[in-house]
Chain A
Amino acid sequence: MKIRRGGILIVVSGMSALLAALSLAFIARMRTDAEEQRLLATEAQARLMLAAACGYVLETSRLGWGVETCGWIDVRDGTPGPKSLGAKSPGDPRNDYAVAGVVDRDGNRVYLRGSGVWPDIGGIARCPFHVLTRPPFALRGDAYYNPIVTDEADVAAFGRPYLRNPDPVPAVDDQAAFNAGDLRPRATSVGLSWFRVLRLSPARFLLTCGAGATRGFRDWAEVVAAGETGAFADRTMFEQLAQGEVRLWYLIEWNAACGDSYNGIDNLQNGVDHYVSHAMSASNDANFLTQPMHRNLVGTVRWIQRVTEAPARW
């Protein structure tokens, strides 16, 4: 009878089991770390939405309605806006500056006071935040369109800054496609974040900044009302997504002020009256290139207040 001894096998098995257990513990810990890290990333993502939402409020005070508008509080007469440029034409009590035929992207008149629909007071803008495949009026992302020739053999062009190509260049050649863009979301950016804006008063807004895949819907009833049930498998899935996302609330106030210029006016020599005015659009001297020194040209956010509890309506 042949006797087999398994000492070495037992030792090797033990070592393997030990290493496997340690590896498993390592992987489990790393996974836990990654999950905790994801929570932090989600928090950061929601905070990025604060910047995005502030930018949205700022820009929509003047832009994006098909016509240029004059601020959330109209800079001409102090009434709630945004209302379009143009002569005042009393007649429609909801908007003294209404321009016939000018509608926003949803087909509504730019601003109808009392409608309760965004952008009116009480209205809500819901903004899922994904990257478009190609935004309208997109330009090519080239760093430079007219590189200087570095080939010495090209005697005629070597080292010369010829402007042979237009700068900038549209992302697509077709004018209609350039204007329209490609509004399909990029798949990798879908379901990460969103923000909502509730207009509380002419210049004050409640921002909800979210990181998650609910696309900014507050509850299932809102999904149903918007006819967007197809975006979620069912109510249970939506509620699971809602429970797993981060939501932050902020109050902000918009103001039409755009920031001062470099100095407004500069007395070049202290003892002599020799003034130079630097206009906001000055571009002749980098030192006085004042437009880049402005925070923006669509107003400023006067203050921001974190609201730590979910408001009754948002």
Chain B
Amino acid sequence: MRLPVRGFTLIELVLSVGLGVAIIGAVASAFRVASGIASATRSLSAENAVMRAGMITALNEADCWTWCDDPGDATRQKLRAWHPTNGRGLPFTPFPQRWPLEPDADPELHRGWDPDYCWPADDARTWFHGNMAERWASANTLYGHYEAFAHLRSRVTLDKTTAVSPAYGSCAPPHTWFMNQLDGLRDNLGFYGLCDYLPANAVFGSYGSANGVLPVVDQGWQGFWVWPVPFPFWTGYFNVGEGECMIPRGLYGNSNNASCVLIPGCADTSLANATTIELSDANVRQYRVGQLAKPADVQDMLAKALPKRALLPLAPASWPNARVSVLRMMGWKRFITSCRVRCDSAVTGERVELTFTTLSTTLRGARRQRRVSNDPASPAYDVDLDGGTISTACLVQAP
């Protein structure tokens, strides 16, 4: 039996070609959509991964302060410097070398930094003994010469007479420790360190002068603390004149509409190549950040203080461009560690940014993490930057 041989009719051919084209088109379209989804997924996943890595990097930096001072790289320890002419240190200047503890039988005469002293509230040497109501520019000393109670120097001559108070003559002020701590922290750490190290209720004011830079004056406030005047050789001032009164203030009064900022002097900031004196200048001034600030003020502060560090400096151009920033500042008496992770898509240019603050290692904690010397043979190997003993064992103190 011969099977009938059937061919294509024209209609069948047209239909089959049409169906074939439709199927191929559908397949191509589906593949394009699917590959687009896969690509977008990959891109989104990469951006998420980069943001996660950026967040971990920022948190790690907040805890370890490595950008400011790299314990393992002596070339990246610029904040340990000391400027001899002006007698100024930087936030990581080692106390054992510049401001070592000098004990005395009289605790009021201790000088230098004691890393193990906790400033208990019952210890009178931690109290402020000045006259909060006495104005710097006023000579009336209405409530008497408080320099007789507290001073930078342990032997002073109070020979000025005013309308309401006689000359006291030679005095031995019993309280000299606190004011020396105040001036010492300012001189050895800069403003951010000063605020970080002092207790929260500290009053910023000292009578007289004694650090070898200011002329020796026995009577009256050291003007630096009570009015916006710069210290000799310094370009910035600490007191912002809040309330237009020339009196010592607490932390809030000294940081109203202004901020003490830690200037790291690290790569990716405008002061990456700064000299010691430039870094010091930047760390002993207030930055205007409040309602009185102009955009240029804030931009200047951010350029100096906010490193924009590439998270993946060697990544291919097609990868997301991510930068991590950590800023440390104190304003309105609040200490802030502000972290920022910014990621730009290499494909669309779209920017994703995550900004957050975190509770983390303070400056003093960071100094306690670091050795004065990385040479195990050195006696300073086990000494931290405050003069304490480096220890990760966290041993309980014997009662």
Contact = CB atoms under 8 A, between A and B. Distances in A.
A22 B36 CA distance: 11
Contacts of B34: 18-19, 22
Contacts of A19: 30, 34
Contact of A305 (B132, B196, B246, B361): B361
A100 B398 CA distance: 27
B253 A262 contact: yes
Interface stretch (A82-90, A135-143, A149-157, A194-202): A194-202
Interface residues on A, range: 35 or more
Contacts of A300: 199-200
Interface string A198-214: 11111110100000000
Given A40-B55, A51-B359, A263-B250, A255 B365 contact: no
Contacts, number: 211
Nearest to A303: B364
A268 B393 CA distance: 53
A108 interface: no
B375 interface: no
Interface stretch (A29-37, A170-178, A228-236): A29-37
A29 B48 contact: no
A160 to B, nearest CB: 36
Interface string A231-258: 0000000000000000001110101111
A273 B138 CA distance: 9
Given A255-B200, A304-B362, A264 B249 contact: yes
B202 A275 contact: no
Interface size class of B (residues with CB under 8 A): 35 or more
Contacts of B118: 73, 201-204, 253, 255, 302
B34 to A, nearest CB: 4
A32 B48 CA distance: 11
A25 interface: yes
Contacts of A43: 56, 59
Given A76-B122, A262-B252, A257 B202 contact: yes
15 contacts: A18-B31, A29-B45, A47-B358, A206-B394, A257-B200, A260-B250, A262-B253, A293-B252, A303-B362, A305-B362, A305-B364, A306-B361, A308-B392, A309-B392, A313-B396
B295 interface: no
B292 interface: no
A11 B23 contact: yes
Contacts of A255: 118-119, 121, 199-200
Nearest to B249: A263
A22 B250 contact: no
B394 A200 contact: yes
A191 interface: no
B5 interface: no
Contacts of B123: 78
